[in-house]
Amino acid sequence: MLSLVRRGRRMRCLYFTHSLSQTHNSFYCTKFYSSSPFQNPLFKLCSGILRPISRPPIRAFCTTSTEAKADRVAALKQTMEAPDAISYLTQREAAEIDETLMGPLGFSVDQLMELAGLSVATSIAQVYKPSEYGRVLIICGPGNNGGDGLVAARHLYHFGYKPFICYPKRTAKPLYTGLVTQLESLSIPFLSVEDLSLDLSKDYKVIVDAIFGFSFHGTPRPPFDDLLKRLVSLHNSDQIHQRRSVIVSIDIPSGWHVEEGDVHGEGIKPDMLVSLTAPKLCAKKFTGLHHFLGGRFVPPSIAEKYKLHLPPYPETSMCVRIGKPPQIDISALRENYISPEFLEEQVEADPIKQFLKWFDDSLTVGLREPNAMALTTVGKDGKPSSRMVLLKGVDKEGFVWYTNYESRKARELAENSHASLLFYWDGLNRQVRVEGSVKKVSEEESEQYFHSRPRGSQLGAIVSKQSTVVPGRHVLYQEYKELEQKFADGSLIPKPKNWGGYRLIPQLFEFWQGQPSRLHDRLQYSPYEINGQLAWKIERLAP
């Protein structure tokens, strides 16, 4: 059997009484982000044969990394529930932090502009998927915010979006001309103001406001005054028959006062705000659905000096949502799956081989725990129960997993040996259902697998009287520590008599591939006998 086993640039914080063309001299605020969930996975060459995979470490007991992760989750939840606990910067503080970043901390303008644009692009990708919001217009001003927009456009292109750029007042500095050259090499269109429709919603799903930074002050001059009016009109127009474009603003919404916000209530109302380093005071007046913060690179010395309270960033992400998640109409949540067709003439005649083929695909693209499966059992009372377990082996005889023989699922299997498995591979838009009868694997097979596990997992199996009531976690932990001491000499840990494996012997398969407009591919394999040999009939089911 095969084992499955800002922008450190400097935005001169002068209130502008000069012409708009001078905005490119401003200092700038730092912004940052890392990788995107929409980057294409790196594919590895694979043999097409299911290969061993490493087993996850024991999860039943605390480790340093687990505790740290729990602390981050708790802190993040507190931040989202109490956004006022986050620090908001005045214009002076933002400028001083930029001075420090660009001075003793050694950040360069182009380095931080790159990180800022990546922060914006990845924030967009977290909310607005390219399959539904593919056409993006980035409106760039002549200053550093405009540079952020140019960088964001390049990343959005590589994330699968189709960006368009309106950059009417170009800056002649090498940094900016280099960004334009990069975008032109990708054949990203540059549009004049005259090329744009009065109603931007006709052509674009997302509009990125990269016009003014936090140092802008005064009245916008042409052509930006007209562009801002078009953005404002998106919220004022009647969009009954057409969904309007969403607006994403970089650091502050263009035209807002950096500390007082939309003073007259007549400014643009972005749907998303991507704050950088720390949110500016005007962000407290932001009422859109999505507020993100980029800037995980802020060093402790700056955080301590300015008494910054910033949210923790999840996992390796360099961008984090601020405030409560938006209230969503659950009935409106839907995905329009884009997948290759799954046709009868392309599949394996043997469902086990087809399963291994799909499983190998899930390994190749790096999906997390592709061997996780929902096991559904039904006891004599007729009530079904489901839980996630890990597949630990598959061959022509069936699918194997291990558990406690006194658990609820074990009791139900003793009463009714029929069960079902469900694999769901989100990254590939695929599901596999398997139904059949279940029996225990041999004691030798269970023994062999038990001793192949990490010693911590072996001890955990002894401690856990699965599905029974325990007074508290401390009881489990104490028993675990006692066993750890008992077997500290490295001696063999005996397998519990009430622990072992099950094998589901398949009697029905269904392979599901998500497709656009809910016209999913569903191919069912059912067994029949031909000339005394087992064969499988393949039929297409309506989605």
Structure tokens at 56: 């996850």
What's the pLDDT score for residue 69? 53
CA quadruple 125, 130, 131, 133: dihedral positive or negative?
positive
- What percent of the chain has pLDDT above 70? 83
Closest CA to 97 of 85, 82, 84, 112: 112
341-376: string of b/e by CB count within 10 Å (b at 16+)?
A: ebeeeebbeebbebbbebbbbbbbeebeebbbbebb
Question: Long-range contact list for 470-479, CB < 8 A, 24+ apart?
Answer: 476/60, 476/61, 477/61, 477/62
What's the pLDDT score for residue 514? 96
Summarised one tens digit per residue, pLDDT across range 18-46 is 333 333 333 343 333 333 333 333 333 33
What's the pLDDT score for residue 70? 55
- pTM confidence score: 0.58
Name the pLDDT band for 11 (thresholds 50, 70, 90): very low
End-to-end CA distance of the chain: 34
Backbone angles phi, psi at 158, to 5 degrees: -75, -20
User: Beta strands 206-210 and 246-250: pairing type?
Assistant: parallel
What's the pLDDT score for residue 80? 52
Mean pLDDT of 246-266: 93
Structure tokens at 505: 């012997």
Q: Is-catalytic flag, 243?
A: no
What's the pLDDT score for residue 67? 54
What's the pLDDT score for residue 154? 98
What's the pLDDT score for residue 417? 98
Summarised one tens digit per residue, pLDDT across range 194-224 is 999 989 999 999 999 999 988 787 788 999 9
Report cis status (omega within 30 of 0) of the bond before 223: yes
Residue 4 contacts residue 371 (beta carbons within 8 Å)? yes
Closest CA to 1 of 533, 452, 526, 525: 452
Summarised one tens digit per residue, pLDDT across range 269-284 is 999 999 999 999 999 9
Mean pLDDT of 79-97: 78
Name the pLDDT band for 313 (thresholds 50, 70, 90): confident
From 10, 518, 522, 540, the catalytic residue = 518
Residue 432 has pLDDT above 80, yes or no: yes
